[in-house]
Amino acid sequence: MVQTVVEKELPAEAKKPCPDPVVLPDRDLTEIEIATNWGADRTALRVCETRRSASVGGSNVQ
């Protein structure tokens, strides 16, 4: 038996970079600004990872 490695091309969605974190001003932030910016970053990362995982999973790449 001969084993052959087959590499599949990842879908374009899996190759899209995740957005950069929120750019913070060069000053102390209020508690509301901290929570809002942190929440925006976490949401963006979760959406990006969900999109990437779905794309990779859809192509049956393990």
Alpha carbons 58 and 19: distance in angstroms, whole number: 22
pLDDT digits (tens, 9 = 90+) for 15-29: 788 889 999 999 999
Instruction: With CA atoms as reference, report the closest residue to 45 among 25, 23, 17, 26.
Output: 17
pLDDT number for residue 61:
42
pLDDT digits (tens, 9 = 90+) for 25-62: 999 999 999 999 999 999 999 999 888 888 777 544 44
